[in-house]
Structure 1
């Protein structure tokens, strides 16, 4: 635990797959992302370990409204009598009325029953407890400034949260995925996430560069945890985004393009991992990344269908 930042494994997917964070300052707390509704006991446990009570939480800040980050927000807010929820202006309405969010997730994942199974019951957040975090909005946590920056590329409703005290960002998904199982003597391994439906490579490049201008010492990723070597990881992300875009364009007209893109993503990620000195076998790497490979292929296909530039 550094600078009062507690990492919460939300329990979604598998261990060390999906993180949220509790930031504590002078006896007050802010959650960054909410996990799923199934995650609620873990958030209550995190408060207890930090010697906080529900009344001591002032904020829930959502990096974006994809359900692994925000599906549990309504359930969590019911437990926090004094908290306000900060979210990108494009995401606020989906927290107040999550019906469209649920329908969109059902279309991606295969039905509302699957959404309920994986994410739990998704409750609305009362409108008077939702704050639209415009670009430059500052959350005041007991005098500790948490700066919200508009960071599209993964989603148009995405913010990253800068914590000057920690010289770090809470990056949601804009700074990619870096699972600890893929750490190696060469350092952390990272890939972008382009999951449906708002991947925009130019915007992703710009958002990554914007974060670097703050010269952060660390990034707190949702998938998963704290990473350093920020400049090297940003370079890796830029290169991999470009390679993924090239793969998508190459298969744009193929009738089975999603499958072809996914197969080429496997080759791309495994090759980059082995060059990063990851010692796992191809099969082991694919098993760790299999969900992201599928979602990244879907995201690139949606981008192609929107008239990719």
Structure 2
């Protein structure tokens, strides 16, 4: 594996490139305090050798790890948890209560992801999911605090919007949030000298809820964070600017999707609208990459965000129909 797969972000926080999809696309984090450690997100099964190598690189042993904390149970964040924990004798998993059963018995989680990605992609990208023993699994609650190394509090916040089984982790030491997907995606290829990082929200299936996402971002910003540790990808600053951009883009995605609720070829129209939106915004940000490269870098997000928006539209339509039916007086 390359020498640069682990990056020291300061304050005892290390980003580990899991090599999922492409370099610098998917990060797991290692937090170290007084010789004790916690992983936040793990990547897939294929990332586990890198995570264990990171411990060795830092002079730690597998027995040094107290916690494995997936931000949510989507497989690019949590797919490697079960396999990793087989090598960590002291570690417990800390997961959102809505995700706990899926980590202990991942059959439903596997089936849901398989429906989105298909058998071939599941095997290639993720590998078979390994269950976490129930006695080593802990459910978080909103505001819960665990202490790493006796001195470092890590606080859990319930952050729905991207997924209902999502929590984020506040590290008061660095004044940073481990955000999973709640605070969006920021690929380093789009950084510009004049404007720094660019960011976009993610509506990956199947639980995108724009109002809940806006509220979660607001709760996180109330802590006045100095930085965000994104799974996709790594540490970003300029947090107030990025938060404002995210909120604006969520509104634009909703405005794009709503008129297409009943459209023919809806998926293709959502994809086209998202491509146009992202290309316009990266140009406004000062990105000079060719259009073809921008589209290639964002192709997976365009596909998944279009799927997620469609599911959100259909869920809203069903809710409206049910409300109308309940309001109709009986004849």
Q: TM-score, normalised by structure 2?
A: 0.92
Aligned mate of 2:52, from 23, 44, 47: 44
- Correspondence list, 1:16-27, <5 A: 16-27=24-35
Say if 1:186 and 1:278, in contact at 8 Å, map to a contact too: no
Aligned mate of 1:123, from 119, 130, 137: 130
- Correspondence list, 1:226-245, <5 A: 226-245=235-254
- Secondary structure of 1:307's aligned partner: helix
Q: Which has the larger radius of gyration?
A: 2
Aligned mate of 2:167, from 153, 159, 163: 159
- Secondary structure of 2:98's aligned partner: helix
Residue of structure 2 in register with 1:94 after alignment = 102
Residue of structure 1 in register with 2:5 after alignment = none
Say if 1:146 and 1:163, in contact at 8 Å, map to a contact too: yes
- Secondary structure of 1:262's aligned partner: helix
Residue of structure 1 in register with 2:90 after alignment = 82
Q: TM-score, normalised by structure 1?
A: 0.98
Please give the alpha-carbon distance, in whole angstroms, between the structure 2 residues aligned to 1:93 and 1:138: 21
Please give the alpha-carbon distance, in whole angstroms, between the structure 1 residues aligned to 2:301 and 2:227: 23
Q: Is the aligned partner of 1:250 residue 2:259? A: yes
Please give the alpha-carbon distance, in whole angstroms, between the structure 1 residues aligned to 2:121 and 2:202: 22
Q: Is the aligned partner of 1:201 residue 2:214? A: no
Please give the alpha-carbon distance, in whole angstroms, between the structure 2 residues aligned to 1:208 and 1:173: 11
Aligned mate of 1:293, from 296, 302, 323: 302
Please give the alpha-carbon distance, in whole angstroms, between the structure 1 residues aligned to 2:269 and 2:147: 47
Deviation (angstroms), 1:116? 2.1
Q: Is the aligned partner of 1:54 residue 2:62? A: yes
Say if 1:137 and 1:148, in contact at 8 Å, map to a contact too: yes
- Secondary structure of 1:239's aligned partner: helix
Aligned mate of 1:34, from 35, 38, 42: 42
Please give the alpha-carbon distance, in whole angstroms, between the structure 2 residues aligned to 1:139 and 1:63: 15
Please give the alpha-carbon distance, in whole angstroms, between the structure 1 residues aligned to 2:121 and 2:276: 30
Please give the alpha-carbon distance, in whole angstroms, between the structure 2 residues aligned to 1:223 and 1:248: 24
Q: Alpha-carbon deviations, 1:176-200, whole Å to 9, x = none?
A: 0000001012110100000000000
Deviation (angstroms), 1:123? 0.3
Aligned mate of 2:187, from 179, 189, 193: 179
- Across the two proteins, how many residue pairs are aligned to each other? 308
Q: Alpha-carbon deviations, 1:198-240, whole Å to 9, x = none?
A: 0000000000111100000000000000000000000000010
4+ runs of 1 displaced by more than 6 Å? none
- Correspondence list, 1:266-285, <5 A: 266-285=275-294
- Secondary structure of 1:280's aligned partner: coil
Please give the alpha-carbon distance, in whole angstroms, between the structure 2 residues aligned to 1:221 and 1:204: 16
Deviation (angstroms), 1:30? 0.1
Deviation (angstroms), 1:281? 1.9
Deviation (angstroms), 1:114? 2.5
Aligned mate of 1:147, from 131, 138, 155: 155
- Secondary structure of 2:297's aligned partner: helix
Unmatched 5+ stretches in structure 2: 1-7, 321-331
